A and B are shown apart, each in its own frame.
Chain A
Amino acid sequence: MIYSLIKLVGHRNLGFILGLVVVLNLAIGSLVMNFHTELYPPFFHFDLNYFFDPVRVEHSWLYALVITFSLYGINLSASIVESAVDLVQSQNQRLRRTAALLIHLAILLTMVAHLFDGFYGQTQQGVISDDEVTIPGIGLVTTQSVESIYHPDGSLKDTKVVLTIKRDNGENIEQTIAYNEPALFDNGEWEIIIQSGNREVSGFIIGNRSSGQEIRLIPKSAVQIRGGTLTLLNMLNTQMGPFAQISWKPNRGKRETKVIALNPTTGRHSSLTLGQTEFYFKELTYRPVATVMVRYNPAILLITFALLISAIGTILLKPTWWRREQS
């Protein structure tokens, strides 16, 4: 009785029609996504929550797809059970039946993995510099260095970013990431993926010619020197070049705001008198900055297993020239 029901639900004719309906549904979805650019950014991650929060008429194709894929999945599950029983009972064409069974099972597992990743996966984007950044699920991350290489026409060839990661379990890791080479954690469930990397101006150095004293300034950070306290307020790019605004608070006296040109060729505009001492702009300082994407793929083990059995199933299908040689 149950087996008859399974045979009915997993009927091949039904599966064939459902397969075509899914194809049609996906094609409609593709058209809708292409014409509603305000709703669907190009190349966006598979986030199913997006389609349900809020529910919209434009997403109808996806709601229909969930239904058609579910029916297809039910048909596929029943046909897998039927195929498995057939495989045990019959000795005919065992290799080919095994191939079909594995590929069907892989499709089913991929569908389940998509559902799981679609609802529970996460994508975050952020910037990691030499300051520690907390990434939930991974730990405290800092960028140690960034190095880029370029093609002869000046276009980017690759970027390598060295990250240090303090995991929540106390483990310290140094990991290099590059394009196509992410940092993987927890069996690949968590990933840090490079999007770009460069060196960013972090501040500058001023110096005194006679004493050789050098002071490193970074924004919002006060530096105590002889005669007062110096704070870099901000750095600006103007039509006349880059400038910095500095707050100078003498030990005795009122706070003053001073401006210095961040260009050593501008003569006295690139020098500052602080108390009795004259300082000049020496050089800019840089820090490594990486723009990264952090992905959480909770179903990665399931999808890896599906890929594996799908590959085995596909090899067992065997191309015709291989079959001919064997026969």
Chain B
Amino acid sequence: MFGRKREASFSLFALLITITLFFAARAYLKEFFPFTDKIESFATLSTLIVISALVYREQIANKEFTALLVLALASLSATLIFEDKLHYPTAYLRTIWYPLHVPLSFAAYALWFLAGIDAIYSTKQLKSTDPAVAERALITQLNRNGFIFFSFAMLFGGIWGYLAWGAYFMWDSKLLWSIILWLYYGNLLHIDALPRFRHWKVPLYALGMVLILITFIGTGFFTRSIHKF
């Protein structure tokens, strides 16, 4: 089905427009943007995965594109689990640092997920022993872009934390796992320059997807984090 690029891209653009309308209606009703509950949170992740898939459509194989769409669909389906009730933002969410912090981290999750899927369907470039070739590989580019997004998300989150709770870091599982992710993917940025560890690249990127799931879903559902969505 997704081999037919034009139809697939058209369907995805239609989905994006639908989700945009969904968000616009909710933002109007709540007088607030971007999101305040798990439904909107999963819809955002789904959207960002779709956008990443479209942006990198020409550089990834059909199998990878399909896997991303399945992932986006899974994220969208997760919205059906929760009771659909409009949540007004708490006082802490009403700041410019919130829309700067959260969507950027979600964009990083999407890019890193794409890197993980690309690693599983590893290309010839990944197997290359030439660091220059490896450096140009999509997986490295995705990680760098994800790292840039996540770094800014962390910077904005730190400023928000200082203004709202008096500290740029607190003992909270979501914060701890965000640092884990940032250090992990920052570390992976070096792997192309380390011949001894290059064969770890694929498993480490694949493991990265598990870490993202723990950070995004695990900490919100199974821990006492105040970050519930």
Chain A residues proximal to chain B, CB less than 8 Å: 12-13, 15-16, 19-20, 22-23, 26-27, 29-30, 33-34, 37, 40, 42-46, 103, 114, 117, 121, 123, 151-153, 155-159, 178-182, 188, 191, 193, 293, 295, 297, 300, 303, 307, 310-311, 314, 317-321
B180-205 to A contact mask, C-beta < 8 Å, 1/0: 10011011001101101100000000
Q: Which residue in B151, B158, B225 is a CB contact (below 8 Å) of A42? A: B225
Which residue of the partner chain A has the closest CB to B181?
Answer: A23
Work out how many contacts link A and B, with CB atoms closer than 8 A.
Answer: 141
Given contacts A13-B194, A156-B91, A157-B91, contact A34 B164 (CB under 8 A): no
Tell me which residues across on chain B come within 8 A of A153, comparing CB atoms. 88
Q: Which residue in B147, B166, B197 is a CB contact (below 8 Å) of A13? A: B197
Q: Which residue in A15, A123, A179, A320 is a CB contact (below 8 Å) of B144? A: A320
Q: How far is the CA of A179 from the CA of B193 in the complex (A)?
A: 46
Which residue of the partner chain A has the closest CB to B173?
Answer: A30
Q: Which residue in B88, B97, B148, B197 is a CB contact (below 8 Å) of A180? A: B97
B89 to chain A, nearest CB (A): 8
Count of chain B residues with a beta carbon within 8 Å of a chain A beta carbon: 49
Whether A29 and B163, one on each chain, are in contact in the complex, defined by CB atoms closer than 8 angstroms, is no
Q: Which residue in B88, B95, B148, B191 is a CB contact (below 8 Å) of A317? A: B148
Whether B148 and A45, one on each chain, are in contact in the complex, defined by CB atoms closer than 8 angstroms, is no
Given contacts A29-B176, A155-B88, A320-B141, contact A13 B167 (CB under 8 A): no
Tell me which residues across on chain A come within 8 A of B167, comparing CB atoms. 45-46, 117, 121, 295, 297
Whether B187 and A180, one on each chain, are in contact in the complex, defined by CB atoms closer than 8 angstroms, is no
- Determine whether B120 belongs to the interface, using a CB cutoff of 8 Å to chain A: no
B-side binding surface: helix, strand, loop or mixed?
helix
Cross-chain pairs A/B with CB under 8 angstroms, 12 sampled: A15-B190, A29-B176, A33-B171, A34-B222, A42-B224, A43-B165, A45-B167, A179-B164, A193-B166, A310-B155, A317-B148, A320-B144
Whether B176 and A26, one on each chain, are in contact in the complex, defined by CB atoms closer than 8 angstroms, is yes
Q: How far is the CA of A121 from the CA of B169 in the complex (A)?
A: 12
- Determine whether B170 belongs to the interface, using a CB cutoff of 8 Å to chain A: yes
- Determine whether B162 belongs to the interface, using a CB cutoff of 8 Å to chain A: yes
Q: How far is the CA of A42 from the CA of B184 in the complex (A)?
A: 24
Q: How far is the CA of A12 from the CA of B168 in the complex (A)?
A: 29
Q: How far is the CA of A297 from the CA of B225 in the complex (A)?
A: 23
Tell me which residues across on chain B come within 8 A of A178, comparing CB atoms. 91
Which residue of the partner chain B has the closest CB to A190?
Answer: B166
Whether A307 and B159, one on each chain, are in contact in the complex, defined by CB atoms closer than 8 angstroms, is yes
Since A180-B164, A303-B158, A314-B151 are in contact, a sample of 17 more A-B pairs with Cβ atoms closer than 8 Å, ordered by chain A residue number, is A13-B194, A19-B186, A20-B187, A26-B176, A26-B179, A27-B177, A34-B224, A45-B170, A46-B169, A178-B91, A179-B94, A297-B167, A310-B151, A314-B155, A317-B144, A320-B144, A321-B145
Whether A180 and B163, one on each chain, are in contact in the complex, defined by CB atoms closer than 8 angstroms, is yes
Q: How far is the CA of A15 from the CA of B190 in the complex (A)?
A: 10
Tell me which residues across on chain B come within 8 A of A182, comparing CB atoms. 163-164, 166
B214 to chain A, nearest CB (A): 8
B166 to chain A, nearest CB (A): 3
Report, nearest first, the 3 A-B pairs whose CB atoms are least far apart. A295-B166, A19-B187, A179-B91
Tell me which residues across on chain B come within 8 A of A29, comparing CB atoms. 176
